[in-house]
Amino acid sequence: MLSDGVRVVVAGGVEHWVRVAGAHNGGVPLVLLHGGPGESCYSVEQSVGDELAKVSTVIFYDQRGCGRSAKPSEPATYTMSRLVADLEEIRSALGLDRIIPWGVSFGCLLAAEYAVAHANNVERLVLHAPPVVGPLHPGLWSLRPNAVDTFLAPGERTELRTQLDGMTDPIQRTFAAIGAISSSEHATRFFYYDPANMPAPDPAAPGMNMEMALALVGTERLDLADELAAITTPALVMIGLWDRHVGFDMARDLADRMPNAVLWIFDRSGHLIDEEQPAEYVEAISTFVRDAAR
C-alpha cells in the first residue's frame, strides 16, 4: 500500500526524488511526468498537484538529473529510452500494477513512449500540450521561429530575421528564436494568454538542467504518433487555445489519431494551462480519473 510522503527510489543507478500525495484516495495513481526537458515537477506540483491529490493518488517525481533527483554519473544516459526504463523501475519499486501517466509538454513524449512500450501497465493517459508530431508534420522546432516572430517588437523582429538569415539547422534557429523572445519586453505574451497570470518568481524552484535539455531536444520519433494511434488506451489531450510553444493543431491532430482520446480545450490559456486555468485543469483530470474508476 502506498503512503503519503517523500522517498528516494533508485532507478537506472540514479536516486530519484519521489513524493506520494493523496494515497488515501486509492485507485490507479496519476504519475506526473514533467516538462523541459531538464525542468522538474515543482511548478505543476505547486499549481495544481495538491488539488488533484484531494481526489486522486498522485505521484510526483523529478527525472534523472532534474530538480531534487541526483545527476547520473554518465550524461550519455540522458536518453528517452533510459527515461522510460526509469519510470518502469519506479512503478515496480512502488508496487504499482498500473499507472496513469500524466505528461506535461516534454513529459508527454515520455508518457507516450511509456504507453507504447508498456501498454499493459497503463490504465489511462493524460497529455497536457503534447509535442507529438506526425510523420508529415514539419516539426515543433521548424515552427518555433515563426511563433516567436509574431510577438516581437519591430526592431527585435528585424534583428531575429537577420540572425536567422542563412541559418538552416532547425535547432539552432529555435535557440535563436527562444533567445529573442526571452529578452523581449513582450516575452510574457508568448508564454501566457494573459500576462497577469504569470506567477511571481519562486526562490525555492529548482533550476533547469541544460545538459539534459541539450541532449534531448530534437530527438522526437516521427513515428510515435502512428504508434499511439495503434493503441486503445483512453487518453485525455489538453491544450490551451493560445499555446505558442506546441501549437493547438498538434494536440488536436493527435487526439484525432488516437481511437479513444478526448480533446479538452482551454480557451483562456497558453502553454501553461495549470497556471492560467487551474480550477478547470483540475476538473478535466478529475473527471477523466473518475471515469476510469467506474
Q: Residue 290 has what pLDDT?
A: 84
Cell of 3: 503512503
Q: Please give, one letter per residue, the 3-state secondary structure of 129-184.
A: CCCCCCCCCCCHHHHHHHHHHCCCCHHHHHHHHHHHCCCCCHHHHHHHHHHHHHCC
As a 3-state breakdown, the chain gives helix, strand, coil percent values, each rounded to 5, of 45, 15, 40
Q: Which cell is 153 given?
A: 517588437
Q: CA 149 to CA 145: how far, in whole Å?
A: 6
Q: State whether residue 200 is helix, strand or coil.
A: coil
Do 105 and 127 form a contact (C-beta atoms < 8 A)?
no
pTM of the model: 0.95
Q: For helices 154-164 and 140-149, what crossing angle results, to 10°?
A: 150
CA–CA distance, 43 with 34 (Å, rounded to integer)? 9
Beta strands in the chain (DSSP E): 5-11, 14-21, 30-33, 58-61, 100-104, 125-128, 235-240, 261-266
Per-residue pLDDT 10s for the chain (294 aa) are 799 999 999 999 999 999 999 999 999 999 999 999 999 999 999 999 999 999 999 999 999 999 999 999 999 999 999 999 999 999 999 999 999 999 999 999 999 999 999 999 999 999 999 999 988 888 888 888 999 999 899 999 999 999 999 999 998 999 999 999 989 988 998 889 999 999 999 999 999 999 999 999 889 999 999 999 999 999 999 999 999 999 999 999 999 999 999 999 999 999 999 999 999 999 999 999 987 666
Q: Do residues 145 and 156 make contact, with C-beta atoms less than 8 angstroms apart?
A: no
Give the orientation angle of helix 140-149 with respect to helix 170-182, to 10 degrees: 30
Q: Are strands 261-266 and 125-128 parallel, antiparallel or unpaired?
A: unpaired
Q: What is the structure's pLDDT at 131? A: 95
3-state DSSP assignment of residue 104: strand
How many C-alpha atoms does 97 have within 13 Å on its Cβ side?
5
Q: Which grid coordinates belong to 218? A: 530534437
